[in-house]
Structure 1
Amino acid sequence: MDHDQIAAANLGEPLGVSVPLRIALTAEPIPSHVSALDYVTGPALAQGHDVALYAPVMFRREAQRRGVEFHRAGTDWTCDFAVQQAASEIWKESGNAPFNRYIFGRLWPDQAGAKAQDLITEWTRERPDLVIAECSDLGAHLAAKVLHLPVFAADNGLGPVLVDLWDTDIAPALTSLHKQHGQDTPVLPAMLTPAPAQWFYETPPPSVRAVRRTVAEFRIVLPEWLDRSPSTRPLVYVSLGTLTTAMSGLRTVVGSVYREVMAALSAIGCEAIVSAGELAKDLRSADRRIRVVEHVPQPALLRRADLFVTHGGRASLLDAVQGATPVLGMGVLADQPDNAAAFARRGLGRALELTATRGEIADAMTAVLGNSCYGAAMTAAHVELSQLPPLDLTELLAGG
């Protein structure tokens, strides 16, 4: 699609409503999580609703960039050094499954009480018509339940992890808090997801509703230094995510992976842009074809790239589909390894372990770049994604 077509798709349908709804969105303090809600925010605004984001203060600017109200709720607890260190050590010493149980079965429930209280106070003062909370925002789910507000969970990529751990870890950890507020057994709200459910859910829950994905307009505009005639060489874009580079305990591990990827890039003779967040200043490349930056508008760049080396976060993989760009997935934590493996099984690219050597990475990149079947599979996936129904907030409230 050209820029005008993408802009039109991002508007959502239908445009305009006779009575605007007050939509409350919530997010938890993970760097990319407001962007992960754009498939709700964009249509809500385009359809004429009043939208307010209730989130930790780290997201104030992100709310302003999207033209929505901001209300502080919860804390930036994931930025706490001790929290990051404890989570990182569990991941490094015990692997991803124990990490997920610790994060989602302990840390997230521990924070839910304070977030719920903030939201109960805010929503008692100004009651929303509809709450759309991140699927991992357990405090928001509780607050909506206490106040008898209609609520849907917005899948931010963690939906499959939450579903898998709900009965064994998450619900038991929340039971005491729910009882304090006079509520029954914790239940995950009906969920919205911006992709065909079978792409990421092994057994999709019956309550999951797939809707069309949109991204914020400013994220599909290339900066001037990138908006140029393409090279004759293939362009590889590399990003291992915002969370992995922000977590102090993971930086050494992820930095080593970036260096192996960059060595592989030098070996295969391509152009490359490496987006490394806080690690960018520590990554040097003697190869002039490899440019290291802190950040780029990823959805825009993936419309130009020939290959995306990614950590396998849900939003990043869907950016790749919308750009019809094959992937090389190197999953780090949470849902990422499973996501990367799922895309490889669908023929949308390949997947490697984080421990892969530069030679193995170079071979995998060469294989994807040299085989048109990956691009064809991505184009088919792009069509499938674009055919999902648009999110209609009025209809959602009436049906919910």
Structure 2
Amino acid sequence: MAVSARILLTCLPYYSHLVPVLVPVAKALQRAGHAVAVATAPAMADDLARHGIEHLPLPHVRTLEQLLADPAVLSSPGMPGAEDEEAADTARAREEPGALTKAFAGPLAGIFARDLITAARRWRPDVLVRECNEFGGYLAAVKLGLPRAVLDIAPGTAAHLPFLHDTLNAELAALGAPVADDPARPNDGLLASVVPARWYPEPVPSLRCYRPDDPGHDDFAPLAVAGLGTVAHTVVPEASRLLAAMALALGELPGPAVLSTGPGEWTGPRPSNVRIVPFAPQSRLLGRASLFLSHGGFGGVQEALRAGTPMVVLPLFADQPANARRIAELGLGVAVDPAEASPEVLGSACLRVLAPEFRGRAAEFAGVVRELPGFDVLAGDLAALR
């Protein structure tokens, strides 16, 4: 099959940003005969190789774990200082973007963009597609004059764009690229969502919605699936306490549950009905589960929306408070303040969400997801941008 277009995808070097959405989009582009590569940190090489996707390693881009382990990085201009770490577990810090958010749109985005510009000049893409949290792709596309699109894997982060406007413009100016008047400019052009438009509280002019690929189902059918994703363990000091409370709450449910605890040895409670694992095939389990208990990261949220699984969420940072509010507004689950997340409070919330009305609303929303065009249509829309 002749190659029709060269599409370069970019993402932050997190499993949850890469595998649930970017990898299926890349596979859809491959099926359509397009050349596709993903530009991100060298640390993501194994994940991309496992899926048969070309990797453009950006040599100076580091994972969050690598950044937080380097005191020189944390103390450099534009990076968060000790005062931000001290406020990491406050309600205000949960709701408002802070220094780390600005760093990923400022100095870290600049590093990403410079590596990406070098790689793109070699690889010569026709279109650049970034996931919405990754801003180096935006900077590089403007500098190179490339058509661009955004995979909206975290819709709540769009509210941060006015906060990041001056930071992004400073990075554009440093690259010798034209600055923007409109704070929403990073999301202009095609904004590709993986949930229906009704998820968005306000209309979004450039929005197009698509249905992610069906992940299939695991043979095991738990009543509940739970976890805090792949990032919270690194940045949230209270993660171990919350996981222990989740385990005990799941232990009171009238059926089996799966709790993903992340890397490291689990020393917390082990109720007899709860399967404790470092990592669970979440998307495959949710299709047969009746409840999803999580931090409300959008990767898991969109998987639950697709599966028709009601949710209990403990929003911790970034877009998670916005996701929790939207879940509650749509009647698809309930939110619990992490500061109040005792086993008793969580157990009560879980039993409430197991009620038929939540299941009915979640099933109806999943029906809307099934009516969306698939990623093969998205592949054609991306290629048409060149």
Give the one of 32, 39, 50 matched to 1:65.
50
SS in 2 for 1:296: coil
| TM-score where L is the length of structure 2 | 0.87
Contact 1:280 1:292 in 2 (8 A): no
- How big is the shift at 1:39? 4.6
Of 379, 382, 394, the match for 2:380 = 394
- Secondary structure in structure 2 of the residue aligned to 1:70: strand
Q: Does the residue aligned with 2:348 lie in a helix, a strand or coil?
A: helix
Q: How does 1:24-103 map to 2 (within 5 A)?
A: 24-35=8-19, 36-73=21-58, 74-79=60-65, 80=67, 81=69, 82=71, 83=74, 86=82, 88-93=85-90, 95-96=92-93, 100-103=97-100
Give the drift of 1:90.
3.2
Identify the range of structure 1 (389-398 vs 107-116) with the bigger mean alpha-carbon deviation: 389-398
The aligned residue for residue 77 of structure 2 is none
For 1:97-122, what per-residue CA distance to the aligned partner results, in whole angstroms no more than 9, with x for missing partners?
57523222234311111111111111
Residue 344 of structure 2: SS of its match in structure 1? helix
1:242 to 230, 237, 244: 230
Preserved contact between residue 127 and residue 383 of structure 2 (Cα < 8 Å): yes
Distance 2:94 2:234 in 1: 21
Query: Residues 90 and 107 from structure 1, CA distance in 2 versus in 1: closer, same or farther, beyond 3 angstroms?
Result: farther
Aligned to 2:161: 166
For the Cα contact (< 8 Å) 1:44–1:51, is it kept in 2?
A: yes
Amino acid at match of 1:195: V
CA shift for structure 1 position 21: 1.6
3-state SS of 1:291 partner: strand
TM-superposed deviation, 1:136 = 2.1
Given the alignment of the two structures, is residue 267 of structure 1 paired with residue 261 of structure 2, yes or no?
Answer: no
2:332 is equivalent to residue 348 of structure 1: yes
What is the identity, as a one-letter code, of the residue corresponding to 1:174? Answer: L
Cα separation, 2, equivalents of 1:97 and 1:376: 30
- 1: CA distance between counterparts of 2:88 and 2:175? 33
- SS of residue paired to 2:61: coil
Q: Is 1:180 aligned to 2:174, yes or no?
A: yes
Deviation of residue 92 (structure 1)? 2.0
SS in 1 for 2:98: helix
* Alignment-derived partner of residue 210 in structure 1: 209
Match of residue 291 from structure 1: 275
CA offsets 1:17-49 (integer angstroms, 9 cap, x no match): 754321111111233110232452232122222
Match of 1:12 in 2: none
The offset of 1:204, in angstroms, is 3.6
How far did residue 52 of structure 1 move? 0.6
Offset at residue 306 of structure 1 (A): 1.6
Q: Distance in 2 between matches of 1:261 and 1:330?
A: 10
- Alpha-carbon contact 2:131-2:150 (below 8 Å) kept: yes
Gaps of 5+ in 2: 75-79
1:348-382 CA distance string (max 9 Å, x none): 1222111232222111111222x211111111111
Secondary structure in 2 matching 1:392: helix
If the length of structure 1 is used for normalisation, what is the TM-score?
0.84
Alignment correspondent of 1:315: 299
From the superposition, tell whether residues 96 and 196 of structure 1 become closer, same or farther in structure 2 (CA, over 3 Å).
farther
**Alpha-carbon offset, residue 300 of structure 1:** 0.6
2:200 aligned with 1:193: no
**What does residue 141 of structure 2 align with?**
144
- Answer whether contact 1:91 1:99 (CA < 8 A) is retained: no
User: Conserved in 2, the CA contact under 8 Å of 1:240 and 1:310?
Assistant: yes
Corresponding residue for residue 113 of structure 1: 110
Q: 5+ residue gaps in structure 1?
A: 1-16
Number of residue pairs the alignment of both structures matches = 364
Instruction: After TM superposition, give the deviation of residue 276 of structure 1 in Å.
Output: 1.0
Cross-structure match for 1:372: 356
Taking only aligned residues, the RMSD between alpha carbons, in angstroms, comes to 2.3
